């Protein structure tokens, strides 16, 4: 064991034990959670037995009602960010039982609402949570746990106009430069695309609640109003063209909106005659975008 790992284990034990009896001060608690998160970020996947033991106090503390159901939203998002790091470490295995994971996912999805609050303390944590959820594919655990309603809320939170319009505002680009070494608009877009694509591809059926926000984003009237939303919708529909084909035409018809009022990708998917044609179209679109 390296001296770095030994020191990391000791610090994890110490901070985790402190978190088991969290401070009453919100500021002190947020500082402690930041410290725990920073330590967890240094733990690699498939940790050693001694590192697993060092993680135990934090795992126990973070799932407590006192933290998981805290009244302060900043605390909840910080807790979600810490637990997201733990899910990264333990992936592909879940760190908690099914019922606990369902509650954690509720907190995670709620944290995505903060993606529209660019200047808030929660914003960078929400971006980090989103990125990790995409990378370790933990959104698929939601499917395994049959959290269908939560998946719909997740998609709505990610696709909310308030979130996506942020990335269409040139004035906001100045704000992102205050985060060194990070391209937040690109990171958020990429993570959203990954999560939405994974959920659609791995779902047994595509509900109208899941499809409606996606279709709404690629209406032609939205192209200039919210171009990032439009682009994201195009990308996800292109990625999932074969899976979406049986559902798209019916969904468009039920909305009473002409096919011509949607992006070309919607028309192409609805009118394609075979899966092979859709695959060819997908690669052609990817080259152009």
Per-residue pLDDT tens for 59-100?
999 999 999 999 999 999 999 999 999 999 999 999 999 999
Q: Among 97-111, 135-149, 244-258, whose mean pLDDT is lowest? A: 135-149
Q: Quote the tokens at residue 13.
A: 């034990």
Supply the CATH number for residue 29's domain: 1.25.10
Task: Tell me what pLDDT residue 223 has.
Answer: 87
Question: Are both 242 and 191 inside the same structural domain?
Answer: no
Identify any residues that bridge with 219 across adjacent strands, giving them in sequence order: 262
Task: Tell me what pLDDT residue 161 has.
Answer: 42
Number of domains in the chain: 2
Helices 3-20 and 49-62 cross at an angle (nearest 10°) of: 20
Range of the domain at 281: 205-289
Q: Which of 174, 196, 218 is the last residue of a domain?
A: 196
Question: Are both 113 and 256 inside the same structural domain?
Answer: no
Give the closest residue to 93 by CA, choosing from 34, 150, 136.
Answer: 136
Residue 137, by phi and psi: left (phi above 0), alpha (psi -120 to 50) or beta?
A: left
Question: Are both 128 and 34 inside the same structural domain?
Answer: yes
Q: Which of 196, 216, 240 is the last residue of a domain?
A: 196
**Three-state secondary structure readout of 221-289:** CHHHHCHHHHHHHHHHHHHCHHHHHHHHHHHHHHHCCCHHHECHHHHHHHHCCCHHHHHHHHHHHHHHC
- Check pLDDT > 70 for residue 149: no
Q: Residue 209 in contact with residue 264, Cβ under 8 Å?
A: no
Question: Are both 70 and 185 inside the same structural domain?
Answer: yes
Per-residue pLDDT tens for 31-51?
999 999 999 999 999 999 999
């Amino acid at each position: 064991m390296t001296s770095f790992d030994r020191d990391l284990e000791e610090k994890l034990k110490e901070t985790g034990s402190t978190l088991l009896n969290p401070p009453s001060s919100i500021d002190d608690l947020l500082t402690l959670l930041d410290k725990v998160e920073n330590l967890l970020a240094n733990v690699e996947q498939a940790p050693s037995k001694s590192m697993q033991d060092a993680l135990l106090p934090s795992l126990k503390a973070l799932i407590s009602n006192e933290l998981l159901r805290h009244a302060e939203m900043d605390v909840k998002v910080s807790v979600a960010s810490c637990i997201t790091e733990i899910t990264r470490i333990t992936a592909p295995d879940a760190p908690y039982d099914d019922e606990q994971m369902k509650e954690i996912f509720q907190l995670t999805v709620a944290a995505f609402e903060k993606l529209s609050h660019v200047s808030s303390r929660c914003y960078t944590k929400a971006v980090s949570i989103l990125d990790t959820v995409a990378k370790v594919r933990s959104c698929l655990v939601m499917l395994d746990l049959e959290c269908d309603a939560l998946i719909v809320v997740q998609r709505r939170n990610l696709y909310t106009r308030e979130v996506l319009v942020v990335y269409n505002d040139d004035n906001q680009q100045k704000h992102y430069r205050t985060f060194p070494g990070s391209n937040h608009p690109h990171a958020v877009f990429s993570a959203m695309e990954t999560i939405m694509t994974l959920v659609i591809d791995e779902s047994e059926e595509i509900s109208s609640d899941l499809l409606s926000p996606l279709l709404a984003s690629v209406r032609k009237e939205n192209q200039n109003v919210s171009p990032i939303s439009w682009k994201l919708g195009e990308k996800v529909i292109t990625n999932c063209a074969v899976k979406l084909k049986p559902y798209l035409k019916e969904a468009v018809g039920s909305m009473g909106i002409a096919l011509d009022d949607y992006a070309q990708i919607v028309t192409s998917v609805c009118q394609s005659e075979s899966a092979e044609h859709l695959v060819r179209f997908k690669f052609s679109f990817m080259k152009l975008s």
